[in-house]
């Protein structure tokens, strides 16, 4: 299998008033294309910090991150932004939908940033909304959608640019158990059918089981990497 991410000795420290905090401490592992990686660990273990570092939203203090052999550490902010636009989709716990925009308008945002025409934006956004089962909700505002439907819109927005990898931070954190199962099953489906690599932070042991690879962090250190 092709390695898509190589994480080498990543360290992330924060200077606090009462000393230095090691959010990540010498973390090393690899991710293959098509993996569904669940990242688990207690609160404060560095899960979200790891996700932010791998997606280029924060810079590690030291260490290397390679995406398809492309160095992500030491490049410019513009190069990181281009990496995210071309390769990355995000799904967050709070959905992060713009409240005054309809479902299709929310999904169109990444396409607009990539310079697609209005016609192209509508065609591609309609297609992914149909893929997530929201063909009858194009013109609904977030407040008119259930929590599960809002998360489906967020997933559609993450998919619309055909990313190589989706970073999901507690994607079921605001959903009840039934909706959580529905969203996790859908993420697993797009992982398998579209071969999109997924890296998901979760506190839920049940959610973690959807991944074929499990990364467990404790106090910023990689405690275990296992495969299902």
Q: Is residue 100 part of a domain?
A: yes
Domain count for the chain: 1
Instruction: Give the per-residue pLDDT at 19.
Output: 83
**Domain for residue 51, yes or no?**
no
For residue 40, the domain's CATH number is 3.40.50.300
Question: What is the residue range of 41's domain?
Answer: 35-45+76-227
Residue 17 resides in a domain: no
The predicted model gives 174-202 an average pLDDT of: 90
pLDDT value, residue 165: 95
The answer to whether residue 160 is domain-embedded is: yes
* pLDDT for the residue 225: 83
pLDDT of residue 112: 78
Q: Is residue 63 part of a domain?
A: no
Give the per-residue pLDDT at 94. Answer: 81
pLDDT in tens, 46-101: 999 999 999 999 999 999 999 998 899 989 999 998 899 889 999 888 888 999 99
Greater confidence (198 vs 176) lies with 198
In a domain, 8, yes or no: no
Domain assignment present for 64: no
pLDDT computed for residue 142 by the predictor: 93
How far, rounded to the nearest angstrom, does the alpha carbon of residue 13 sit from its chain's CA centroid?
22
Reference 47, options 208, 210, 212, 209; nearest CA is 208
- Residue matched to tokens 């990181």: 80
Average confidence (pLDDT) over 133-147 = 91
Q: Is 98 inside a domain boundary?
A: yes
């Amino acid at each position: 299998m092709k390695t898509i991410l190589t994480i080498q000795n990543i360290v992330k420290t924060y200077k606090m008033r009462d000393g230095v905090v090691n959010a990540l401490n010498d973390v090393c592992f690899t991710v293959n294309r098509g993996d569904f990686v669940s990242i688990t660990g207690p609160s404060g273990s560095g899960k979200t910090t790891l996700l932010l570092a791998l997606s280029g939203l924060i810079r590690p203090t030291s260490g290397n991150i390679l995406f398809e052999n492309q160095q992500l550490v030491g490049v410019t902010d513009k190069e990181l932004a281009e990496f995210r636009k071309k390769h990355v989709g995000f799904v967050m716990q709070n959905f992060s939908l713009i409240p005054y925009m309809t479902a299709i308008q929310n999904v169109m945002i990444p396409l607009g940033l990539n310079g697609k025409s209005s016609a192209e934006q509508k065609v591609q956004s309609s297609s992914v909304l149909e893929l997530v089962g929201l063909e009858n909700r194009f013109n609904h505002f977030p407040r008119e959608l259930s929590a599960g439907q809002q998360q489906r819109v967020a997933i559609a927005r993450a998919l619309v640019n055909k990313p190589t990898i989706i970073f999901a931070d507690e994607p079921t954190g605001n959903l009840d158990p039934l909706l959580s199962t529905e969203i996790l099953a859908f993420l697993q489906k797009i992982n398998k059918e579209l071969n999109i690599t997924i890296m998901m932070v979760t506190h839920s042991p049940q959610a973690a089981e959807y991944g074929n690879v499990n990364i467990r962090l404790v106090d910023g250190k990689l405690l275990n990497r296992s495969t299902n």
